[in-house]
A = this chain, B = another copy of it.
Amino acid sequence: MTETKKFGFKLITTDGMARRGEINTPHGVVHTPAFMPVGTQATVKAMFTDHVRETGADVVLGNTYHLMLRPTAERVDRLGGLHKFMNWPHTILTDSGGFQVMSLAQLRKLDEDGVRFQSHIDGSKHHLTPERSVEIQGLLGSDIQMQLDECIKLPSPREEVQRAMELSLRWAERSRTQFDKMRGPGKGQGLYGIVQGGDVPELRIRSAEELAKLPMEGYSVGGLAVGEPQEVMLKMLDITTPVMPVDKPRYLMGVGTPDDLLESVKRGIDQFDCVMPTRAGRHGLAYTRFGKVNLKNARHQDDPRPLDEESACPATSTYSRAYLHHLFRAGEALSGMLLTWNNIAYYQTLMQGMRDAIEESRFEEFYAKTKEDWARGDIAAL
């Protein structure tokens, strides 16, 4: 059996541009379109992994930048890899570390070779190159690796967008070379290239086309949801996904709101990750079928209704809004635990709904009904 047989993507069916597929990794099947909860520091914040799994998640994301600094990739490797370390036996995707270096690290300096920076934890000095990023992700035992790229904020001058995009392409090649050298026989992990090009259509298209020449297991769209309006992001998807390989998974990085997911699946995206559901949960915000509910608000203090009694998630169907409001006001950890669980469950329910709809060729109907429910809003009965 060859390595590439182990990592695989099967496009099961399409409905318009929307795609229903399956990614096979050494740690299981990922049903796409898929939302990947973020487990930055080897934990999906405030959640037990069995609950993450029960919501329907097939894959979680680990952040290379955080893990390389603490507990370090070498330590995770000695302890048996990230799956064992965090008690998640299913698929893990890791990012390259580049995005967080640019947003969190101190005194960072980027050149052709890579990026030098100091840890935001202890000031220690590090040098992240495309090769080192692949090495770290290998030590973590990641099933799906990301190439190191340069992700810039929008808006930026066109020359700057082009420079970063071209650098990212050269880094994609170096990443691929290193990945092929390091990946053991029969390991079956995958490496994804990342399309850059900011908000410039020609650059996006060139990036996608050049990247497609490299034999990647998947292709990401990076550098979106970095400050631009949603319509700019969607326009970029409109022109990018048609030039991406049909037979490989497409991952839109760092996105997004439930509406972003719906709009992006409609445009042919297969994978997503975002801190939004977990972060919002810790701030008293619940995502539901009928839109966002701000549990901080005093209007919930006497409301005996659960967030959604029809939900299969215990956090969603068991506890009253009055109780969730009380927990948040009282500063109790259980507040973040329950709302994070609710939010991840809602995101997974949304993805399951999209997967079912695509299979049954009724994505447009699902899309309309979902928007209608969100617009209906969540009016308190009291």
Contacts and interface: CB of A to CB of B under 8 A. Distances in A.
Interface of A: 41-43, 45-48, 66, 70-71, 75, 78-80, 85-87, 301-302, 304, 318-320, 322-323, 326-327, 329-330, 332-334, 336-337
Given A79-B322, A87-B318, 20 more contacts: A41-B326, A41-B327, A42-B323, A42-B326, A42-B327, A46-B333, A46-B334, A48-B334, A48-B337, A70-B330, A75-B302, A75-B322, A78-B302, A79-B304, A79-B323, A80-B304, A85-B323, A85-B326, A86-B323, A333-B333
Given A79-B302, A79-B320, A80-B304, A332 B87 contact: no
The 4 A-B pairs at the shortest CB distance, nearest first, are namely: A46-B333, A41-B330, A43-B334, A71-B326
Given A85-B323, A323-B86, A301 B71 contact: yes
A221 to B, nearest CB: 30
Contacts of A336: 333
A48 B79 CA distance: 29
A66 B80 CA distance: 45
Contacts of A333: 45-46, 333, 336-337
A327 B79 contact: no
A336 B332 CA distance: 12
Contact of A332 (B41, B302, B320, B327): B41
Most buried by B among A42, A318, A330: A330
Given A85-B320, A329-B70, A301 B75 contact: yes
